[in-house]
Structure 1
Amino acid sequence: MPPPSDIVKVAVQRPGAFAQLIDLDQKKPLERIIKEVCESWNVSDSESYALQFTDGAQIYITEKNRHELKNGAILHLTFSARKTAKQLLEKIRGPGSNERLDALKQLAKLSIDVTLAVEFLNHHGLEPLMFIVEGGKELGEILAFTLTCIVELMDHGYASWERFCQGTFVKKVVSYVNKTSMDATILHYSLSLLESMLQCNNHLYLIIISELERPQLITHLAVSNQDIQTNALAVINALYMKSPLEKKQGMAKLITQKELRQTILSHVIHNGRRIHTDMAHQLHVLQRLCLNLLEMRMLIKMDPHDQSQRDALFDLRNIAFDNMELQDRHKSVYAKDYKKLGFQDNVNPAQDFMVTPPGMLALDNMLYFAHQHRSAYVRLVLENSCREDRHECPFGRSSIELTRVLCELLQIGVPPSETAQSYYAMMFTQEHAFEEFFCICIQLLNKTWKEMRATQEDFDKVIQVIREQIQRALLVQPEKFEQFRKALQALTYADILKLRQTDRMNQEQGDFKSPPIRELRETIRPEILDLIKQQRLTRLCEGTLFRRIGRSRRQDKLWCCRLSPNHKVFHYGDVDEDSSPPAIETLPEKCERDVLPEFLVQPWRIL
């Protein structure tokens, strides 16, 4: 007979004693169970003891986590969290350095357990740890383990960061980060503390930003220790995300500077090691922050009265048609040029930039393409201006819609995810990564337009294909823009059609094999077969015209064949050209259905 579900069979160990095998009743209070275990070993003062897991993090067993106990678990009888916290605190406050170090090592290990951490904090244990840091006398193991303990204790969220607002502790931690050469553990946990303080308290942000040497963070990204790299990048991200509005522009220079990108490429992405999940998340955050700097331009409409914006449009026209002097051009000729450029409103192309998104970001992309890839821009515009109006790929309209698609794919304006690890390494290779991304894709759009032999009516269809091409090319995780370009070139329109068909077939096969679909098919199968039979018989009764093939294999006259209403006799005969099937009575020849050869009768017998 199996034991009751509330009974868990476990072993309890204690140094210097034989282990006990007990039936732990989950309905019984934990204090009573501990008391019974202590009594069996003649241990007094059971209130000072607790049970602890022996595997994993060796956390204390409490009323909240006792449901995790399984049959066969091995437990350890040890001092309670309260007594352990008091003992550790006495040693940390004591005069002996060796005892203090041992206590800090033990606390660093045990403070992962929220039960011990809460007891230690309740006994004001954070103050002596802060005193060690603020005193500045320790720089070795004692300081390293002290910082470790503070990080672990604060990570549980039971203590407020307000107690650090006086600044002495914060400035000391910042000084460790500002040093070029520092113990790896001290630097790791100092960076971790800075990130947490930046995230949790605005006053601490002001203290940190005034003391921190920001270029030193990039130096820490160049080390080989990936934990330090991750924390350094996390601090950089936090500096921007938590900066006041008036400081955003200055912090934007930090996350977009060339030195940061190059350091990330050389020492993080291309260092030959696998990037762990925490670093991948921080790279995701940084890339999303950089791309979101484009959000303002994406949401700004064009001002038709702004001369600088109007000059930008003239600039696009002049680069494409630079053999024509501006002062010699009439307004009607401008309109023709803007039409060749592919704007929907060729009289006032500013109207094309009134939709947000993509707003002015589309014009920025077009200008970048025209200036940085001048020959490709001119070739694209002139090539389409020479086609028929129906078949030309409108550069202006395409650029605006493509920019909108890219904003959606790269999620511009969407805050960084708290858990995502996705990023594109190639976006760290260019100062104007989004603009280069656009330049590659607009040329792809023109290529795909030609492959599809598209007309103006097919514009939305072309955009759908382009979106799919870009999405599929990004799946290969190209590390350079040239790799991305080659991936796009390999995805022709014909390839997209094949991939769509394959995806559809795979989905259908998966759907058709599901039990509900199979059951439904069997249920409606007789009804469907009967419907097919009736449709075929109806079609035979209506009659069909055929070309009669003579002995010379020439197609001579037409003839008609109809099935009688009782479905037993075929009536057939010659008919005139361009005539519909005649009445069945007018067809002179007939044939009984049952006398037809078997291979002809078979289709109807199936019915």
Structure 2
Amino acid sequence: MPPPSDIVKVAIEWPGANAQLIEMDQVWARLSAPVIKSPHDNSFFVFLQKRALPSIIREVCDGWSLSGSEQFALRYADGPQLYITEQSRGEIKNGTILRLAISPARAARQLLERIQSHGIDARLEALKELAKLSADPTFAAEFINMEGIGTLARLVESGTHGSLVSCSFGEMLAFTLTAFLELMDHGIVSWDLISLSFIKQIAGYVNQPMVDVSILQRSLAILESMVLNSHSLYHRVAQEITVGQLIGHLQVSNQEIQTYAIALINALFLKAPEDRRQEEYTNPLEQHLTEMASTLAQKHLRSIILNHIIRGNRPIKAEMAHQLYVLQVLTFNLLEERMMTKMDPNDQAQRDVIFELRRIAFDGENDPTATEKRKAMYTKDYKMLGFTNHVNPAMDFTQTPPGMLAVDNMLYLAKVHQDTYIRIVLENSSREDKHECPFGRCAIELTRMLCEILQVGELREYSSRASAPVLLTHSCIHYVTICNHRTSSHFIISVLQLKSFSFFSFLANEGCNDYHPMFFTHDRAWEEFFCVCIQLLNKTWKEMRATAEDFNKVMQVVREQITRALVMKPSSLDQLKNKLRGLSYSEILRLRQSERMSQDDFQSPPIIELRERIQPEILELIKQQRLNRLCEGSCFRKLGNRRRQEKFWFCRLSLNHKVLHYGDLDESPQGEVPFELLSDKIPISDIKSVVTGKDCPHMKEKSALKQNKEVLELAFSVLYDPDETLNFVAPNKYEYCIWTDGLCALLGREMGSDLTRSDLDTLISMEMKLRLLDLENITIPEAPPPVPKEPSSYNFSYNY
């Protein structure tokens, strides 16, 4: 008879003693009179009733003759070694190895006493142990209740660690800052309670030219958390750190330091008041970070990022790419205000911009006589400029988007690339009316298109609806992302009970690394990008010999040209021009035809019938490939805190396709992980279903992740008996498709991922082409040839 589903078998260790093997119920109920077997030498307890955790600990202590069971607790023996609580005991799996340890309260009290001792070696060991234990929410709550964070803050403020030259003092400070950051990231204590002297001390470590790398990393991370989690601390930090000081950290060879520095820049940029973001300053290196938004457009900071990071000697890691993406998005979001601002037809200053566009195009040098002569021709000039409203062109800019942003782009082209602007306008005005390219209309529509392609302002929509904008830092996100193993559920709830926060989806998503290097190569990259694209539009219009009726068709072709070029990630604007040159209208037609042929080549009934016969064979081939990949296994990262050492877990299918094996890893594996190292398993026969996206339990429970579209698209869960789940967030779309397909195949269900459809089309197309090689250049009829009538007699047959 199989054991009850709410009973798990675990081993419990104690230093210097044999392990005890016990059966533990996962659901708590306070009942009496347990049935207990002998607890000696690899023996075990069998709890036939539901028992409270203290009762289980008491019996374990009795087995080793330990008194004072209330001073002990159970922890995991491997991995993060978190404490077991009543809330988290349900996550214990069969075969788990636990360890009897001193209770969190006792450990917190002992560490606090040792930290305040006078012995350097004792204090160093205590801080080292504290840095490790602080990631545990149960311990953190106890330590914080004993005013532990205040003690750590006073150690930093008083400069007790002495000169950083000393190896011991440097180590002590690094462990102190690590523990402080881990404890604060639990969200139990408000960042608003941090004192100004503590901020000055941390800022001092960032400003020092020679400081230990680990201290610098943690100092930058603490400042980032302060900025993102407290509006008042943002202003204090911004007054302590200048751009010039952070630029120095961008020029080092350590990419992790560069990443933390850019993360702090992004945080300050994000929290900067709107009015500060739009102002311009003259000396960027001496200004404080409250003016960070305008500094980002300055040549010095941009060139440092370009030369020391993007074009550096080291490949850009995923986290750095993510921070560059965030920086790119934040920079483009500066355009949102102009994009959503309508032109006021009654505002003379705004109308003067249109007059300037007309003057540059038609008046040449500022000749008053020529200007007077052309006043009567303004309506004609505005028509030649391509505005829809020839009498009052200001009305063309009353729609948002693109609003005034289109005016800005046109004026930049007219002033900075004057020859190009005049050539485009005059070239089109000299064409026949039906073939002229309306510059004004094209520029407005192109600006709207570029805003859509680069998602200007789109990633700010959710945050603008938040009632009390407080942005979670990376560390807090750690506790609201998927954490399938050994995470205290009551702590997740405490984090989610933080006051309302603004959540930028791209800040949480570790997969968003889609930055474009070319936008870091020019101080006015957006405007230059527009100038390249408007010339492309004019060229494509000529190649298509388009008329006014073809306007939308031309814009569709131009959008395709731009998006195809951006996919190739040009490293500079000049390289973008070369890519676009290769994507002429004729090339777009060729690409479209090639892609269409791959879909339409085999549409005749005989080919369709052959395709239907082949499809089951191909689907079986795809199924075997998916199952083979599941047997190889995949490593999944526990998303969240980017500052902590990354945590991984691995999952793979048994070779007989009957069991899923999984378990935690200390680091990303190189190749396959042996089954012996994967302690947990799920029989395939126990799996009830596979759910994806918003239907996943870990997506429903964590409201922050619901808003993160990218994470939502990579999430899936295995539901198995009895009401248990194994939650995944795939590292990328490919792994997501592989695993969802493979799990569906194991359950006998249809594989419906995008990858399956793509593989199916590709393989069937290849197989069809191979089988039809002998019919090349032969037209396959729509219907089979007619069967001739029966002969009048069969006398022609021979009798033998």
How would you bin the TM-score normalised by the shorter chain?
A: 0.7 to 0.9
When Rg is computed on C-alpha atoms for both structures, the one with the higher figure is 1
Cα deviation, residue 33, structure 1: 2.4
- Equivalent position of 1:587 in the other structure: none
In structure 2, which of residues 249, 258, 266 is the aligned counterpart of residue 237 of structure 1?
266
Q: Judging changes above 3 Å, is the alpha-carbon distance between structure 1 residues 131 and 462 closer, same or farther for their aligned structure 2 residues? A: same
Matches for 1:204-603 after TM superposition, within 5 Å:
204-245=233-274, 247-248=276-277, 249=279, 250-322=291-363, 326-414=370-458, 415=460, 417-418=506-507, 419=509, 420-500=512-592, 601-602=786-787
| CA–CA separation in structure 2 for the residues paired with 1:499 and 1:31 | 69
Q: Judging changes above 3 Å, is the alpha-carbon distance between structure 1 residues 317 and 604 closer, same or farther for their aligned structure 2 residues? A: farther
3-state SS, counterpart of residue 123 of structure 2: helix
Q: Is the 8 A contact 1:199 1:238 kept in 2?
A: yes
Q: Higher mean Cα deviation, 311-320 or 496-505?
A: 496-505
Q: Judging changes above 3 Å, is the alpha-carbon distance between structure 1 residues 32 and 509 closer, same or farther for their aligned structure 2 residues? A: farther
| CA–CA separation in structure 2 for the residues paired with 1:94 and 1:440 | 66
Q: Judging changes above 3 Å, is the alpha-carbon distance between structure 1 residues 23 and 290 closer, same or farther for their aligned structure 2 residues? A: same
What one-letter code is carried by the residue in structure 2 that aligns with 1:380?
I
- Equivalent position of 2:188 in the other structure: 158
| CA–CA separation in structure 1 for the residues paired with 2:88 and 2:576 | 50
Cα deviation, residue 503, structure 1: 5.4
| CA–CA separation in structure 2 for the residues paired with 1:604 and 1:427 | 73
After superposition, give the CA deviation of every residue in 1:334-361 in whole Å (9 maximum; x if it has no partner).
Answer: 3222222211122322222222221221
- Equivalent position of 1:24 in the other structure: 24
In structure 1, which of residues 93, 99, 102 is the aligned counterpart of residue 116 of structure 2?
93
| CA–CA separation in structure 2 for the residues paired with 1:151 and 1:332 | 70
3-state SS, counterpart of residue 345 of structure 1: coil
Q: Is the 8 A contact 2:140 2:183 kept in 1?
A: yes
| CA–CA separation in structure 1 for the residues paired with 2:238 and 2:59 | 56
Q: RCO greater where, 1 or 2, for CA within 8 Å and sep 6 or more? A: 2
Cα deviation, residue 32, structure 1: 2.5
In structure 1, which of residues 58, 62, 65 is the aligned counterpart of residue 88 of structure 2?
65
3-state SS, counterpart of residue 390 of structure 1: helix
3-state SS, counterpart of residue 329 of structure 1: helix
| CA–CA separation in structure 1 for the residues paired with 2:226 and 2:389 | 53
3-state SS, counterpart of residue 195 of structure 1: helix
| CA–CA separation in structure 1 for the residues paired with 2:364 and 2:103 | 88
| CA–CA separation in structure 1 for the residues paired with 2:599 and 2:185 | 45
Cα deviation, residue 332, structure 1: 4.4
Superposition RMSD in Å: 3.0
Q: Is the 8 A contact 1:424 1:477 kept in 2?
A: yes
3-state SS, counterpart of residue 139 of structure 2: helix
What one-letter code is carried by the residue in structure 2 that aligns with 1:144?
A
| CA–CA separation in structure 2 for the residues paired with 1:428 and 1:154 | 35
Cα deviation, residue 482, structure 1: 1.5
- TM-score, L = length of structure 2: 0.61
What one-letter code is carried by the residue in structure 2 that aligns with 1:14?
W
What one-letter code is carried by the residue in structure 2 that aligns with 1:475?
V
Task: Provide the identity percentage.
Answer: 55
After superposition, give the CA deviation of every residue in 1:212-255 in whole Å (9 maximum; x if it has no partner).
Answer: 23320111111222222222222222223223455443332232
Q: Judging changes above 3 Å, is the alpha-carbon distance between structure 1 residues 380 and 226 closer, same or farther for their aligned structure 2 residues? A: same
Q: Which runs of 5+ in 1 are unaligned?
A: 511-516, 522-597
After superposition, give the CA deviation of every residue in 1:259-297 in whole Å (9 maximum; x if it has no partner).
Answer: 211111122222233333332332222222221222222
Matched, 1:176 2:217: no
| CA–CA separation in structure 1 for the residues paired with 2:544 and 2:787 | 43
| CA–CA separation in structure 1 for the residues paired with 2:18 and 2:789 | 86
In structure 2, which of residues 139, 159, 167 is the aligned counterpart of residue 136 of structure 1?
159
Q: Is the 8 A contact 2:570 2:576 kept in 1?
A: yes
Q: Is the 8 A contact 1:86 1:120 kept in 2?
A: yes
| CA–CA separation in structure 2 for the residues paired with 1:232 and 1:258 | 18
**As a proportion of its length, which structure holds more helix?**
1
Q: Judging changes above 3 Å, is the alpha-carbon distance between structure 1 residues 171 and 390 closer, same or farther for their aligned structure 2 residues? A: same
3-state SS, counterpart of residue 434 of structure 2: coil
- Equivalent position of 1:79 in the other structure: 102
Q: Is the 8 A contact 2:297 2:524 kept in 1?
A: no
| CA–CA separation in structure 1 for the residues paired with 2:233 and 2:599 | 53
Q: Is the 8 A contact 1:237 1:255 kept in 2?
A: no
Q: Judging changes above 3 Å, is the alpha-carbon distance between structure 1 residues 503 and 16 closer, same or farther for their aligned structure 2 residues? A: farther
| CA–CA separation in structure 1 for the residues paired with 2:315 and 2:13 | 41
| CA–CA separation in structure 2 for the residues paired with 1:157 and 1:137 | 26
- Equivalent position of 1:556 in the other structure: none
Q: Judging changes above 3 Å, is the alpha-carbon distance between structure 1 residues 20 and 500 closer, same or farther for their aligned structure 2 residues? A: farther
| CA–CA separation in structure 2 for the residues paired with 1:330 and 1:194 | 60
What one-letter code is carried by the residue in structure 1 that aligns with 2:245?
Q
3-state SS, counterpart of residue 22 of structure 2: strand
- Equivalent position of 1:145 in the other structure: 175
Q: Judging changes above 3 Å, is the alpha-carbon distance between structure 1 residues 98 and 3 closer, same or farther for their aligned structure 2 residues? A: same
3-state SS, counterpart of residue 435 of structure 2: coil
Q: Higher mean Cα deviation, 351-360 or 146-155?
A: 351-360
3-state SS, counterpart of residue 9 of structure 2: strand
Q: Is the 8 A contact 1:236 1:255 kept in 2?
A: no
Q: Judging changes above 3 Å, is the alpha-carbon distance between structure 1 residues 604 and 229 closer, same or farther for their aligned structure 2 residues? A: farther
After superposition, give the CA deviation of every residue in 1:154-198 in whole Å (9 maximum; x if it has no partner).
Answer: 01111112321x411111111111222211111111111111111
What one-letter code is carried by the residue in structure 2 that aligns with 1:260?
L
Q: Judging changes above 3 Å, is the alpha-carbon distance between structure 1 residues 438 and 75 closer, same or farther for their aligned structure 2 residues? A: same
What one-letter code is carried by the residue in structure 1 that aligns with 2:177?
L
Cα deviation, residue 502, structure 1: 5.5
After superposition, give the CA deviation of every residue in 1:8-33 in whole Å (9 maximum; x if it has no partner).
Answer: 22222221112223222223332222
What one-letter code is carried by the residue in structure 2 that aligns with 1:358?
P
Q: Higher mean Cα deviation, 277-286 or 89-98?
A: 277-286
Q: Is the 8 A contact 2:26 2:92 kept in 1?
A: no
What one-letter code is carried by the residue in structure 2 that aligns with 1:492?
S
| CA–CA separation in structure 1 for the residues paired with 2:601 and 2:137 | 50
| CA–CA separation in structure 2 for the residues paired with 1:92 and 1:507 | 70
Q: Is the 8 A contact 1:343 1:396 kept in 2?
A: yes
Cα deviation, residue 319, structure 1: 3.0
| CA–CA separation in structure 2 for the residues paired with 1:84 and 1:506 | 67
3-state SS, counterpart of residue 389 of structure 2: coil
Q: Judging changes above 3 Å, is the alpha-carbon distance between structure 1 residues 600 and 4 closer, same or farther for their aligned structure 2 residues? A: closer
Cα deviation, residue 53, structure 1: 1.5
| CA–CA separation in structure 2 for the residues paired with 1:266 and 1:59 | 43
What one-letter code is carried by the residue in structure 1 that aligns with 2:335?
L
Q: Which runs of 5+ in 2 are unaligned?
A: 28-49, 165-169, 280-290, 461-503, 603-610, 616-782, 791-800
3-state SS, counterpart of residue 72 of structure 1: coil
